[in-house]
Amino acid sequence: MIEKKYDLYDIVQMKKDHPCKKSKHFKIVRVGVDIKIKCLGCDNVIMLERPDFERKLKKIIQKHEEIQ
């Protein structure tokens, strides 16, 4: 199994795009028992349970640290 490391405010791509089709990318806005990701196309926030998020995560696009 490939380990995927993600943190708060990272930009990620999920296996399925958001239905709005405006962006393929999401920003992680909350990491806890649940993970909240915000679609960068329409600002909709989606809440996923952590195992569900990890299963649907395709790749990390940009780490938060690299933006600064």
The residue among 54, 61, 56 whose CA lies nearest residue 40 is 61
Q: How far is the CB of 1 from Zn ion (least distance, A)?
A: 29
Question: Residue 44 or residue 64: which is nearer to Zn ion going by CB?
Answer: 44
* Range in contact with Zn ion (rule: CB under 5 A) among 5-13, 25-33, 37-45, 51-59: 37-45
The nearest distance, CB 20 to Zn ion, in angstroms, is: 3
Nearest to 19 by CA among 47, 42, 52: 42
Q: Does 36 bind Zn ion (CB under 5 A)?
A: no
Q: Is 63 in the site for Zn ion (CB under 5 A)?
A: no
Q: Is the separation of the CB atoms in 24 and 65 below 8 Å?
A: no
Contact assessment for residue 36 and residue 29, using Cβ atoms and an 8 Å cutoff = yes
Return residues touching Zn ion (CB under 5 A). Answer: 18, 20, 39, 41-42
